[in-house]
Amino acid sequence: MFKEFIENVEKYRRVGVFSHIRPDGDCIGAQVALCSWLQKNGHEAIAFNDDDIAENLIWLTDYFPVKKATKELADSCDLFIVVDGNAPHRFGTYETWQENRRRPVFMIDHHPNPEDVFDLSVSVDDASSTCELIYNLYKEHAIEQIDEDVAKALYTGLITDTGSLQYDSVKPETMEAAADLLRRGDFKPNQVAERVFSNQTLPQLQLLSLSMGTIKLFEDNQIAVMTVTKKMLEDTGTTNADTGGFVSYPLSITGIKAAILLKDLDDEGVKMSLRSKSEVDVNVWARELGGGGHKKAAGAWHPGPLEKAIRDTVTIGSKQIQQLQLEEERTI
Ligand SMILES: [Mn+2]
């Protein structure tokens, strides 16, 4: 998987590694572990992200600092690597740095439909996470280079991108990677899980409570819709960053095939997170709305207002669910 990558990365000395905007545990974990790998193998590495890193992930930057890119820092790199995203716009100002001085760009990612703009791609869309891919990089190159920091960083991505190793993207290899990381890093699962998941603030829970009150079911109780409004944020003193993981609650209702979290936060329309726990492909729904992602997790944007965003998305979703039901009936 990484043979070509390893052979080619050797040609470059100073490498800028970008993770995607609005960073999550997988992109930061993968970025930190990749930068560490580069450093251990004679390169200089700089980790870039345009956005602030959430409170529950900030400890990862003790292992490797993540900086906001500046022209000077970006220009000093002779190779860029982007992780956990497969289209340039996912990496914020990254495109600006390319305009200044064109340099090779490598990509490591697990999302479907990669853009064909990279000089070298490691694109594995059935991998659980980019962190599982970076684990394979170590495995194919020099597994003994996985130290405690790298193990914890990679484990973070494994659990955050898979709902704590529950999604159907999890394969025996994913579990084996997780077990190997626990052994090599000599830590217990709760040491990472508690840092990542058990550090909610009271305002966050109050926001969750308000948002839970909005859950409505559609299409014979197969689609769940949950909303967050600007007023809810104001009433609880929270921000958009505090809505992480909310969509998993409506998805956990019995019989629900897909859940949508709609965030109506400013004048710029409605942001949507879509999740599925069935054969339903929410990537298709998101694409119809101009967004995208994975089959089980996707994002989209709607110009609004909120009620119309709900109606349009439920219409798209219902159409697909009815189609799937017809196909099922035909095969019986
Ligand atoms: Mn990911």
Q: What tens digit of pLDDT does each residue of 133-146 get?
A: 999 999 999 999 99
What CATH number belongs to 3-197? 3.90.1640.10
Please state which CATH class domain 202-331 belongs to.
Answer: alpha beta
Q: What is the pLDDT of residue 200?
A: 85
From ligand 1's centre to the CA of 89, what distance in Å?
Answer: 16
From ligand 1's centre to the CA of 240, what distance in Å?
Answer: 20
Q: What tens digit of pLDDT does each residue of 146-174 get?
A: 999 999 999 999 999 998 999 889 999 99
Distances from the Cα of 159 to the Cα of 25, 170, 174, 195, 245, angstroms: 8, 10, 10, 12, 13
Q: What tens digit of pLDDT does each residue of 12-63 get?
A: 999 999 999 989 999 999 999 999 999 999 999 999 999 999 889 999 999 9
Q: What tens digit of pLDDT does each residue of 169-199 get?
A: 999 999 999 999 999 999 999 999 999 998 8
- Every domain of the chain and the residues it spans: 3-197, 202-331
From ligand 1's centre to the CA of 268, what distance in Å?
Answer: 26
Q: Which tokens in the block code for residue 141?
A: 């190159």
Which residues have C-beta under 5 Å from ligand 1, the single-atom ion? 26, 84, 129-130, 161
Q: What is the pLDDT of residue 167?
A: 87
Mean pLDDT for the stretch of residues 273-297? 92
From ligand 1's centre to the CA of 26, what distance in Å?
Answer: 5
Q: Is the pLDDT of residue 5 over 80?
A: yes
From ligand 1's centre to the CA of 221, what distance in Å?
Answer: 29
From ligand 1's centre to the CA of 129, what distance in Å?
Answer: 5
From ligand 1's centre to the CA of 328, what distance in Å?
Answer: 31
295 contacts: CB under 8 Å, gap ≥ 6: 112, 276, 281, 282, 283
Q: What is the pTM of this model?
A: 0.84
From ligand 1's centre to the CA of 23, what distance in Å?
Answer: 10
Eight-class DSSP state of 113: S
Q: What is the pLDDT of residue 81?
A: 98
Return d(Cα 138, Cα 110) in angstroms, integer. Answer: 17
